[in-house]
Amino acid sequence: GCVLGPLIHGLSTLEAYTAVDNEFRHHPDMFMGAYMDDVALRGNSHVVVRAFNIFKEKTTAIGSKVNFGQGKTEVLLGRYENQQDLDFSIASYVAAGIPLENIKLHPDNSDNDPIYYGYMHLGVPRGSIEYQRAAFDAQLDKKEIATRKISALDKVQDQWVLLNWVTKHKFTYLLR
């Protein structure tokens, strides 16, 4: 890609981020975090849905689109005290275009195992403690397999290249 890609992307989406920031400004318990094309919105469902619709409208106007694929646009609903509020929140997200299978219910509001209540954001697991532990265990397993490959190499120089330029960076990424 072009080295100016991040700058151009940032400038083209600035209006969308500013509009969401303006929406959240009146709600101090709301949060928006963004890095390039990854965005996280956190807060009350009705405000988050409104902000998401604003963001979707502004980015669609510049020719961009939201990826609604599994693992791309995820909703973690917090704990709800009554079923009516939960149903309303789910319906609001679905009306905003988010597929029902991408909306994850809090374990206290469902029979789902807490290990499935989460998503990966910029490589970092978010959600229940059980989900986070399972995600870190899976990443550690991958790193262990990569580390075992080092000893399978015959030449020390090849081992050094794999360790220094590939494997060590994966461990620092895992520990951030």
DSSP class per residue in 129-162: HHHHHHHHHHHHHHHHHHHHHHHH-SSHHHHHHH
Over the stretch 55-78, which tens digit does the pLDDT of each residue have?
A: 999 999 999 889 998 888 889 999
Over the stretch 111-165, which tens digit does the pLDDT of each residue have?
A: 989 998 888 877 788 888 999 999 888 877 776 666 677 777 788 887 777 777 6
Chain center to CA of 75: 9
CA distances from 119 to 21, 140, 148 (A): 23, 17, 28
% of the chain at pLDDT higher than 90: 37
Is the pTM here over 0.85, yes or no?
no
Mean of the pLDDT values across residues 93-103? 94
Q: Considering just the CA atoms, what is the radius of gyration of the chain in Å?
A: 20
Strand partners, 125: 120
Q: Which residue has the higher pLDDT, 87 or 138?
A: 87
Could you list the beta-strand ranges (E) of 7-158. 31-35, 38-42, 75-76, 103-104, 118-121, 124-127
**What distance in Å separates the CA atoms of residue 119 and residue 129, rounded to the nearest whole number?**
12
- Token pair, residue 25, equals 């400004």
**Cα-flanking dihedrals φ and ψ of residue 89, to 5°?**
-65, -45
Which residues lie below 8 Å from residue 138, measured CB to CB, with a gap of 6+?
none
